[in-house]
Amino acid sequence: MGERSDVWQGTLALMILRTLEVMGPLHGYGIARRIEQTSGNRLLINYGTLYPALLKLEQEGYVASEWGASENNRKAKYYRLTRAGRKQAQRETRDWERANTILARFLAPQERP
Amino acid sequence: MGAIRGWLSRWGELFRRGRSESEFSAELETHLQMHVEANLLRGLSPEEARRQALVALGGLEAAKELHRDQRRLPFLDSLPQDLRFALRMLRKNPGFTAVAVLTLALGIGANTAVFSIVYGVLLKPLPFPDSDRLVMISLQGRGVDRGPMGTADFLALAERQRAFTHVAAYTPSTLGFALTGFGVPQMIPGMAVTPEFFAVLDTPPALGRAPRPEEGRPGGELAAVVSDHFWRQFLGADPAAVGRKITLEERSYTVVGVLPPGFRYAQGGEVWPVLQLHPPTERPPYWLIPIGRLRPGVSLAQATGDASRIAAEVQREFPRSEDTLAVAAPMKEMWVGDERPALLLLFGAVGFVLLIAVVNVASLQLSRATARGREMAVRTALGAGRRRLVRQLLTESLLLAATGALLGVAVAYLCVRALALLSPSTLPRMNEIAVSLPVLAFTAGIALVSGVLFGLTPAFQSASPSIGESLKQGTRTSCSRESHRAHNALVAAEFTLALVVLAGAGLLIRTLAKMEAVSPGFNPGRLVTALVALPDARYSKAADVTSFFDRLLDRIQGWPGVESSAIAASLPPNLLQLTNPFHIEGRADRPGQPAPAVPEIPISDGYFRTLGVPLLRGREFSPADRAPGTHALIINENMAGRYFPGEDPIGKRVQTGEYNPKSDFYTIVGVAGNVKYEGLAAEDEPAMYVPFTDSGWCPWFVQSMYVVVRGGTTSAASEALRSSVSSIDRQLPLIRVRAMDELLYDSVADSRFRAGLFASFAGLALVLAATGIYGVVAYSVSQRTQEIAVRMALGAPRGSVFGLVLGLALRLAGAGVGVGVVAALALARLMRSLLFGVSPADPVAFMAAAVLLALVAATAGYVPARRAMNIHPTAALRGE
């Protein structure tokens, strides 16, 4: 099984943004499922933490929500990326990639002086 | 950016009232349904499907709570609960609460009161539209940094200036104007102004109109503007009052405008007659104070340049004069700039007092912290995070601070009322001192900061108490060594702060004493003074003026009990009216350097005798000096020493006034002792005296003269003055009848005020420091009861225990005082401009402060020491 790790909470926001960027508008359950899929089912999200994360993104203006009909004609709340959210996603992606490159140098076998 | 939006949204949630709660419930329900469906598709039973869905969610309630925490501001949610708990805690400890609130009230109240002064005098903009564009223009030169202008200069400025939208000038009238025709003649305060005055201030009259330019020219109608109060008092609030005539100084003025209520310029006034300026033939005298409103976009430097350009032109038109520079300075700065150092110092001192108060309360908090350690441990065990604990502590402390602040505002309000009565009349803008909204904002600010400071002290103290330890400890154990150290440090800090304030007070008190000890150069006992102002209408000729004063002095002399009397245009200790440059015969002027302007005073023959000023050489004036063509002069000791060292000045000749080779020569006939005319703190400088009948002075400069009478009681002398004046001229008011002792007392009013305020702060600091150290020592004893009992049981004499406790108090005080002396020495340098005859490192003041604090510490430590001494070892050890 996967791990429920708190370390991933910090990156949850970015994962949500990227998911919405790729998939378009989705409801909460769909986002959670998609994140799990993208991680190759190696990550199991505590769904309880997903909604506060979504709310925070909405409060900050990166994501907008509205009620709509789901596949099974259920009333569900759909989340979509705003323009600001799109820019934020790109910004955070860049930051992470930069951090990863630097970190990689430490994780690679280092040369002794 | 996004973060700000996030914050705002969370605040906005306060107004959405539960709608979001039900919305999210619906969303969760949908989520669960979808998850359950997916689980069912995987083949789970309905119950298992729902159970696993709930587990994945992390629990329904938990999910809702997480969402709620993100949606709202958790601290606001817990606020009512925190408040209720805080109130309960404070009520359970009435002693602590009372002491804390009182301490804070004193500290915050004092600060609020002083800030009212600082704000009203220094910070608040002047009560005119766009007041930061208002400037005062002065002439520079003649040894005076910023001086008034003459008619020639002002007319040139008004005509040729480019930097101002309007310029105007006024002549300060300390006496006011004699108003007749409304019963008894009275002196109405006010100023004579040029027509544009109200345009500069951008305050058009509420009734009528502002003066017109033609009313400012000779030949035009005499016009005056009156205040709202004057209109109500004398014109019956008549809406048709404009056009009525009033008689000022025996001249008829037409009222052209009534100002809106609440208008106030400088010291205030009720009537503003319009000046009619005659085209000048000479550049002096310098009697007008010009003001202007800067044009939009024009800077101060540009205005100064413009004014200087005109001053230089005027100097060329009057080549015998010297000034070629003019300066424009912001009006508010000119009014209050001198007060800034003293007021800021007071503000700093009272800030120290607040710090002492905060430290006191923090110390009290620490004492409680041990008792509350258990409470905190229990809370933590029940799941409260660190933030939650801090929030609880802060709520309590802010509640205390808020209560203290409310009480403090009441204290401040009373203090401000008292200050209005006690502060010297020389403090500018006194009417603007009030506990107003900006001041209350300041109060809220310092209450907040204070509350946070002493609220967080226990939090700092208990860095990371292990829960188990705290729960295991009984309440009777001695507190940790860190707690003792923190307490001691706080008390020592209090004494440091207290010493600084006490030393400052000591320096100011010594300054006052030194100033009062200065010899004014004459004998002030049994002297009564008054001012007589002769209206120009009836006393425009020298003969009239001379005859009046001769008869007056005669009448006064005839009064029983009067020893002698005299008149003079200027009066010690600080009522100098006029200065003049001078030129000694036969000595070349240094080119380019303006001659110094020194006091020149027209007097009657008996002046020195009446005042008790010693005559060092030569003689006083006599009737012989009235012969036409004679000009006698008496100089003072300082002038003789400086300009005639080693030689006899008698017989030498001097010209006074702007240098003119053709002006009259005055022959020196006597040398008198030095007298202070510019305040007791002023250095001795040259001075010259002329007979008031001298043709160069009479009548123009001697229509207002001070009368001095020596002899008998104050009331007898005043009576002599009053009857003598009215017996000669019934319409003349006698102004400002005061004993010379009173004048001397008032002349140091500034110094006295400062010393008094500082001393009261010092007293406050002493009281607070005393309670602080008492609290800490008493607490220390109560915590160490068992240790002391053991000591005694092992044979330690009672005296040593007493010494132990008292020693603690003295050591703490000593440490604090030691550091305080260093700090005070450094800070006292800032006070230099306020000191007189006392160095900022004055040992007497510092020692007195240190000794006083040591006594306070000893007294405060005495009671706990005695209590410690009387501990019964067996009883203490048994009672666990």
HEC assignment per residue over A50-96? HHHHHHHHHHCCCEEEEEEECCCCCEEEEEEECHHHHHHHHHHHHHH
User: What's the pLDDT score for residue B106?
Assistant: 93
Compute the distance between CA of residue B808 and CA of residue B488 in angstroms, rounded to an integer. Answer: 9
User: What's the pLDDT score for residue B477?
Assistant: 46
Compute the distance between CA of residue B135 and CA of residue B300 in angstroms, rounded to an integer. Answer: 8
Q: Is the pLDDT of residue B876 over 80?
A: no
User: What's the pLDDT score for residue B146?
Assistant: 66
User: What's the pLDDT score for residue B591?
Assistant: 57
Q: Say which residue the tokens 């005839």 belong to.
A: B558
> Which stretches does DSSP call E strand in B711-854?
734-739
Give the minimum alpha-carbon distance from B33 to chain A in angstroms, rounded to a whole number: 9
User: What's the pLDDT score for residue B143?
Assistant: 56
Chain A residues with CB under 8 Å of B30 CB are: 27, 29, 70, 74-77
Q: At B405, is the pLDDT very low, low, confident or very high (cuts 50, 70, 90)?
A: very high
Q: Say which residue the tokens 């007319």 belong to.
A: B155
Compute the distance between CA of residue B756 and CA of residue B719 in angstroms, rounded to an integer. Answer: 34
User: What's the pLDDT score for residue B475?
Assistant: 45
In this structure, are strands B579-584 and B564-568 parallel, antiparallel, or unpaired? unpaired
The pLDDT of B156-168, averaged and rounded, is 93
Q: Do the chains contact at A61 and B5, CB–CB below 8 Å?
A: yes
Compute the distance between CA of residue B500 and CA of residue B516 in angstroms, rounded to an integer. Answer: 25
The pLDDT of B190-211, averaged and rounded, is 93
Compute the distance between CA of residue B494 and CA of residue B817 in angstroms, rounded to an integer. Answer: 9
Q: Note whether B465 and B373 are within 8 A (CB).
A: yes
Give the pair of three-digit tokens for residue B1: 């950016």
User: In this complex, is the C-beta atom of A55 within 8 Å of any C-beta atom belonging to chain B?
Assistant: yes
Q: Do the chains contact at B24 and A75, CB–CB below 8 Å?
A: no
Chain B residues with CB under 8 Å of A48 CB are: 57-59, 62-63, 66
Compute the distance between CA of residue A49 and CA of residue B67 in angstroms, rounded to an integer. Answer: 8
Q: Is the pLDDT of residue B323 over 80?
A: no
User: What's the pLDDT score for residue B309?
Assistant: 92
Compute the distance between CA of residue B201 and CA of residue B36 in angstroms, rounded to an integer. Answer: 79
Domain spanning A6-107: CATH 1.10.10.10: yes
Angle, helices A28-38 vs B19-42, to 10°: value is 50
User: In this complex, is the C-beta atom of B69 within 8 Å of any C-beta atom belonging to chain A?
Assistant: yes
Q: Is the pLDDT of residue B263 over 70?
A: yes
Q: Is B663 left (phi over 0), alpha (psi -120 to 50) or beta?
A: beta
User: What's the pLDDT score for residue B299?
Assistant: 92
Residue that wins the pLDDT comparison between B13 and B110? B110
The pLDDT of B193-200, averaged and rounded, is 94
Compute the distance between CA of residue B804 and CA of residue B222 in angstroms, rounded to an integer. Answer: 84
Compute the distance between CA of residue B563 and CA of residue B706 in angstroms, rounded to an integer. Answer: 17
Share of chain B above pLDDT 90, in %: 44
User: What's the pLDDT score for residue B701?
Assistant: 82
Give the minimum alpha-carbon distance from A47 to chain B in angstroms, rounded to a whole number: 5
Total residue count of chain B as it appears in this document: 880
Listed range (B383-387, B548-552, B558-562, B653-657) with the worst mean pLDDT: B383-387
Radius of gyration of chain A (CA): 16
Share of chain B above pLDDT 70, in %: 95
Q: At B590, is the pLDDT very low, low, confident or very high (cuts 50, 70, 90)?
A: low
Give the minimum alpha-carbon distance from A24 to chain B in angstroms, rounded to a whole number: 18
Q: At B497, is the pLDDT very low, low, confident or very high (cuts 50, 70, 90)?
A: very high
The pLDDT of A74-90, averaged and rounded, is 91
Q: What is the pLDDT of residues B538-565, one digit of tens each?
A: 888 889 999 999 999 999 988 888 899 9
Q: At B67, is the pLDDT very low, low, confident or very high (cuts 50, 70, 90)?
A: confident
Compute the distance between CA of residue B43 and CA of residue B36 in angstroms, rounded to an integer. Answer: 11
Chain B residues with CB under 8 Å of A72 CB are: 34, 37
Give the pair of three-digit tokens for residue B742: 């009173």
Which are the contacts of B839, defined by CB distance < 8 A and separation ≥ 6? none
Compute the distance between CA of residue B631 and CA of residue B621 in angstroms, rounded to an integer. Answer: 11
Report the run of H or E that residue B175 belongs to, with start and end.
strand B164-180
User: What's the pLDDT score for residue B459?
Assistant: 66
Q: Which of A21, A87, A14 is nearest to A56 (CA)?
A: A14
Chain A residues with CB under 8 Å of B63 CB are: 47-48, 51
Q: Note whether B732 and B726 are within 8 A (CB).
A: yes
The pLDDT of B238-244, averaged and rounded, is 89
Chain A residues with CB under 8 Å of B31 CB are: 27-29, 47
User: What's the pLDDT score for residue B410?
Assistant: 95
Q: Which residues of A56-88 are buried (b: 16+ CB within 10 A; e: fewer)?
A: bbbbbbbbebeeeebeeeeebbbbebbebbeeb
Closest by Cβ to A46, choosing from B34, B58, B67: B58
User: In this complex, is the C-beta atom of A112 within 8 Å of any C-beta atom belonging to chain B?
Assistant: no
Give the pair of three-digit tokens for residue B409: 């505002």
Strand order in the sheet with A26-27: A26-27, A75-81, A63-69
User: What's the pLDDT score for residue B691?
Assistant: 94
The per-residue pLDDT of chain A, averaged, comes to 84
Q: What angle do CA B122, B125, B128 make, to 5 degrees?
A: 140
Listed range (B229-233, B247-251, B796-800, B844-848) with the worst mean pLDDT: B796-800
Q: Do the chains contact at B58 and A60, CB–CB below 8 Å?
A: no
Closest by Cβ to B27, choosing from A28, A44, A49: A28
Residue of B nearest to A84 (CA): B2
Compute the distance between CA of residue B371 and CA of residue B400 in angstroms, rounded to an integer. Answer: 19
Q: Do the chains contact at A77 and B10, CB–CB below 8 Å?
A: no
User: What's the pLDDT score for residue B561?
Assistant: 86
Closest by Cβ to B59, choosing from A27, A48, A58: A48
The pLDDT of A76-103, averaged and rounded, is 91
Q: What angle do CA B771, B458, B399 make, to 5 degrees?
A: 75
User: In this complex, is the C-beta atom of B875 within 8 Å of any C-beta atom belonging to chain A?
Assistant: no
Q: What is the ipTM of this complex?
A: 0.85
Residue B423: phi, psi to the nearest 5? -75, 150
Compute the distance between CA of residue B448 and CA of residue B442 in angstroms, rounded to an integer. Answer: 10
Q: Say which residue the tokens 């292990």 belong to.
A: B466
The pLDDT of B125-132, averaged and rounded, is 92
Q: Do the chains contact at A52 and B67, CB–CB below 8 Å?
A: yes
Give the minimum alpha-carbon distance from B79 to chain A in angstroms, rounded to a whole number: 22
Q: Is the pLDDT of residue B90 over 90?
A: no
Residue of A nearest to B34 (CA): A29
Q: What is the pLDDT of residues B741-784, one digit of tens each?
A: 999 998 898 899 889 999 999 999 999 999 888 888 888 888 78
Q: Note whether B521 and B689 are within 8 A (CB).
A: no
User: What's the pLDDT score for residue B145?
Assistant: 63
User: What's the pLDDT score for residue B462?
Assistant: 54
| Cis preceding linkage at B172, omega within 30 | no
Chain A residues with CB under 8 Å of B66 CB are: 48-49, 51-52
Compute the distance between CA of residue A31 and CA of residue A45 in angstroms, rounded to an integer. Answer: 10
Chain A residues with CB under 8 Å of B5 CB are: 59-61
Q: At B478, is the pLDDT very low, low, confident or very high (cuts 50, 70, 90)?
A: very low
Residue of A nearest to B2 (CA): A60
Q: Which residues of B284-310 are buried (b: 16+ CB within 10 A; e: fewer)?
A: bbbebbbbbbbbeebeeeebbebbbeb
The pLDDT of B719-742, averaged and rounded, is 85
Compute the distance between CA of residue B848 and CA of residue B841 in angstroms, rounded to an integer. Answer: 13
Q: What share of chain A is helix, strand, coil (3-state, %, to 5)?
A: 60, 15, 25
Q: Is the pLDDT of residue B267 over 90?
A: no
Q: What is the pLDDT of residues B308-320, one digit of tens each?
A: 999 989 888 887 7
Listed range (B125-134, B580-589, B659-668) with the worst mean pLDDT: B580-589
Q: Is the pLDDT of residue B512 over 50?
A: yes
The per-residue pLDDT of chain B, averaged, comes to 87
Compute the distance between CA of residue B706 and CA of residue B532 in angstroms, rounded to an integer. Answer: 6
What does DSSP assign to residue B807?
H
Q: What is the pLDDT of residues B335-361, one digit of tens each?
A: 898 889 989 999 999 999 999 999 999
Among B288-302, B317-331, B379-393, the range with the most confident prediction by mean pLDDT is: B288-302
Q: Which amino acid is at B213?
A: P
Helix (H, G, I), strand (E, B) or coil at B674: coil
Chain B residues with CB under 8 Å of A55 CB are: 67, 70-71
Q: Note whether B65 and B25 are within 8 A (CB).
A: no
Residue B694: phi, psi to the nearest 5? -55, 135
The pLDDT of B466-470, averaged and rounded, is 55
The pLDDT of B54-76, averaged and rounded, is 83
Among A73-77, B446-450, B560-564, B660-664, the range with the most confident prediction by mean pLDDT is: B446-450
User: What's the pLDDT score for residue B474?
Assistant: 47
Determine how many CB atoms are found less than 10 A away from the CB of residue B255.
Answer: 23
User: What's the pLDDT score for residue B463?
Assistant: 47
* Residue B204 Cα distances to B133, B200, B786, angstroms: 17, 10, 80
User: In this complex, is the C-beta atom of A62 within 8 Å of any C-beta atom belonging to chain B?
Assistant: yes
User: What's the pLDDT score for residue B14?
Assistant: 77
* Residues 66 through 95 of chain A touching chain B, CB cutoff 8 Å: 70, 72, 74-77, 84, 88
Q: Which of B169, B101, B687 is nearest to B400 (CA)?
A: B101
In this structure, are strands B688-691 and B597-603 parallel, antiparallel, or unpaired? parallel
Give the minimum alpha-carbon distance from B450 to chain A in angstroms, rounded to a whole number: 33
Q: At B460, is the pLDDT very low, low, confident or very high (cuts 50, 70, 90)?
A: low
User: What's the pLDDT score for residue B393?
Assistant: 84
User: What's the pLDDT score for residue B465?
Assistant: 52
Give the minimum alpha-carbon distance from A104 to chain B in angstroms, rounded to a whole number: 30
The pLDDT of B576-592, averaged and rounded, is 77
In this structure, are strands B615-618 and B688-691 parallel, antiparallel, or unpaired? unpaired
Helix (H, G, I), strand (E, B) or coil at B473: coil
Report the run of H or E that residue B286 belongs to, with start and end.
strand B286-294
